[in-house]
């Protein structure tokens, strides 16, 4: 049962354990030490609420944050005045002045962004983002060669950080990891930036070993409890609980079907519990006839399609006293991790987290005294 249960409130409850988030960041910071551990709080801290998460992380010792967009950076600056804030998606000319005003540091990813920040950045620091094989953002090889040949393009810019991003960091055996590390070092040397702070590792990169830590690591997902390495035991604490309340329990008989499209034929007489949680809440439609909840220690399958605001679960094998209106079903929590639910939806924890809806009643558990440094 979630904290502060209210009989009259049928909304699903999302409980965010800020203490677990702090513990997770500390575990990563210890592992990466002496590298600095930053925190990625883009996409509203992966859906968990940047306004609640970022101040707690800052109190725990985070001094560098990463967001995706200038808008996210401005929102973060209004919460925290001290930390360095890097904007991963770079700088669009329409936001340059606002980025300077709010002391945001763009991760410059092309020659044109370098030129534009030289012109409009008023000497403010920036990061240089080099692509070493993911072929997403970052200076591509031809632009890197042009920059190495004409270092003048960087003159007058304060490059406070050089970064690159791993394509396969969650697979420790993937040969691209070492190749990207080597290419990153070579690129920094070619640009005469070998003495600058460098960053390559996000969550999974931290677990590839000290070679990958460089000066700064920038985890996101693992801070929020997702497993950093695919298919390996998860060393992170679960920071999230999602519970939905049973609104109605109904009897069904052989020959009936459940839900839109009649996709679940009833084989034996049984009981169906209806919970007020649907795809409008980020409970993916792909979980229809595939997902699970947990009720009093019993795994109960989602049967029939997920609809906008409701799901149906087979509680035929659950003691009737447990499966009754008002009972809480755990969908994410100690008995069913985000990664498991994501797998059932044929997705990843990142997508599930960032889809979490505003419609939930949100409960934040503050770190216990002593969990944050005074
Ligand atoms: C460039 C960059 N750095 C850091 C991160 C944080 O990654 P993770 O959430 O896997 O720790 C991301 C996430 O997508 C990213 O794109």
- Does ligand 1 lie within 6 Å of residue 137's CB atom? no
pLDDT at 273: 98
Provide the whole-model pTM.
Answer: 0.94
Query: Rounded distance, CA 277 to CA 77, Å?
Result: 34
Ligand 1, atom nearest to 203 Cα: 11
Which amino acid residue places its CA nearest to atom 5 of ligand 1? 202
Longest dimension (CA), the chain: 78
- Does ligand 1 lie within 6 Å of residue 54's CB atom? no
What is the Å distance from ligand 1's center to 202 Cα?
A: 5
Pocket test for ligand 1, best of 135, 165, 202 (most atoms within 8 A of CB): 202
Structure tokens at 347: 């997705």
Q: Answer yes or no: is pLDDT of 8 > 80.
A: no
More confident call, 241 vs 153: 241
pLDDT at 9: 79
Chain Cα centroid distance, residue 285: 20
Given its phi and psi angles, is residue 192 left (phi above 0), alpha (psi -120 to 50 degrees) or beta? left
DSSP state of 339: H
- Does ligand 1 lie within 6 Å of residue 220's CB atom? yes
Query: Rounded distance, CA 310 to CA 210, Å?
Result: 47
pLDDT at 10: 82
Determine the average pLDDT of the residues in 112-140: 95
Q: Answer yes or no: is pLDDT of 256 > 90.
A: yes
Q: How confident is the model at residue 374 (pLDDT cuts 50, 70, 90)?
A: very low
pLDDT at 151: 81
Query: Rounded distance, CA 218 to CA 105, Å?
Result: 15
Ligand 1, atom nearest to 163 Cα: 1
Q: What is the pLDDT of residues 34-50, one digit of tens each?
A: 999 999 999 999 999 99
Structure tokens at 353: 């987290």
pLDDT at 230: 83
Q: How confident is the model at residue 370 (pLDDT cuts 50, 70, 90)?
A: low
Query: Rounded distance, CA 311 to CA 225, Å?
Result: 25
Ligand 1, atom nearest to 221 Cα: 9
Q: Answer yes or no: is pLDDT of 154 > 50.
A: yes
Range with lowest mean pLDDT among 230-239, 256-265, 302-311: 230-239
Q: Answer yes or no: is pLDDT of 371 > 70.
A: no
Give the CB-side neighbour count of residue 339, counting CA atoms within 13 A: 19
Q: Answer yes or no: is pLDDT of 255 > 80.
A: yes
Structure tokens at 142: 């031809």
Q: Which positions are catalytic?
A: 42, 260
pLDDT at 138: 95
pLDDT at 166: 97
More confident call, 320 vs 34: 34
Which amino acid residue places its CA nearest to atom 8 of ligand 1? 220
Q: Quick check: 285 and 306 in contact, CB under 8 A?
A: yes
Query: Rounded distance, CA 109 to CA 85, Å?
Result: 16
Ligand 1, atom nearest to 219 Cα: 11
Determine the average pLDDT of the residues in 234-250: 96
Going by C-alpha positions, the residue among 147, 133, 254 that lies closest to residue 191 is 147
Pocket test for ligand 1, best of 67, 88, 235 (most atoms within 8 A of CB): 88
In percent, the amount of the chain with pLDDT more than 90 equals 89
Q: How confident is the model at residue 290 (pLDDT cuts 50, 70, 90)?
A: very high
- Does ligand 1 lie within 6 Å of residue 219's CB atom? yes
pLDDT at 121: 92
- Does ligand 1 lie within 6 Å of residue 202's CB atom? yes
Q: Is residue 369 classed exposed, middle or buried when 0-12, 13-18 and 19+ CB atoms within 10 A define those classes?
A: exposed
Q: How confident is the model at residue 231 (pLDDT cuts 50, 70, 90)?
A: confident
Inter-CA distances, 282 with 14, 158, 215, 246, Å: 12, 41, 36, 18
Determine the average pLDDT of the residues in 158-175: 96
Mean pLDDT across the chain: 94
- Does ligand 1 lie within 6 Å of residue 333's CB atom? no
């Amino acid at each position: 049962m979630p904290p502060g249960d209210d009989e009259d409130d049928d909304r699903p409850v999302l409980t965010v354990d800020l203490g677990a988030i702090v513990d997770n960041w500390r575990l990563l910071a210890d592992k990466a030490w002496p590298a600095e551990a930053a925190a990625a709080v883009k996409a509203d801290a992966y859906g968990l609420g940047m306004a609640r998460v970022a101040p707690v992380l800052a109190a725990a010792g985070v001094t560098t944050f990463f967001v995706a967009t200038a808008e996210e950076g401005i929102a973060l600056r209004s919460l925290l005045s001290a930390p360095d804030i890097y904007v991963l998606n770079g700088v669009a000319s329409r936001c340059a002045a606002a980025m300077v005003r709010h002391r945001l540091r763009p991760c410059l990813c092309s020659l044109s962004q370098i030129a534009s920040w030289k012109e409009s950045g008023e000497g403010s620091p920036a990061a240089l983002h080099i692509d070493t094989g993911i072929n997403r953002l970052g200076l591509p090889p031809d632009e890197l060669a042009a920059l190495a040949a004409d270092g003048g393009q960087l003159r007058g810019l304060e490059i406070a950080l050089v970064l690159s991003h791993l394509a396969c960091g969650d697979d420790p055996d993937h040969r691209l990891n070492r190749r990207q590390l080597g290419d990153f070092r070579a690129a920094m040397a070619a640009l005469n930036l070998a003495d600058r702070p460098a960053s390559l590792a996000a969550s999974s990169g931290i677990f590839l070993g000290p070679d990958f830590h460089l000066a700064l690591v920038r985890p996101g997902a693992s801070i929020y409890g997702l497993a950093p390495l695919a298919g390996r035991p998860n060393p992170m604490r679960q920071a999230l609980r999602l519970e939905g309340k049973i609104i109605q329990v109904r009897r069904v008989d052989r020959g009936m079907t459940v839900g839109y499209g009649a996709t679940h034929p009833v084989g034996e007489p049984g009981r169906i519990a209806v919970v007020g949680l649907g795809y409008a809440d980020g409970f993916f439609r792909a979980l229809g006839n595939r997902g699970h909840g947990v009720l009093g220690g019993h795994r109960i399958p989602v049967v029939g399609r997920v609809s906008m605001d409701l799901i149906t679960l087979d509680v035929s094998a659950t003691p009737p006293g447990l499966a009754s209106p008002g009972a809480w079903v755990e969908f994410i929590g100690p008995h069913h991790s985000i990664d498991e639910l994501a797998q059932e939806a044929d997705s990843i924890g990142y997508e599930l987290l960032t889809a979490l809806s505003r419609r939930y009643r949100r409960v934040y558990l503050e770190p216990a005294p002593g969990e944050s440094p005074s």
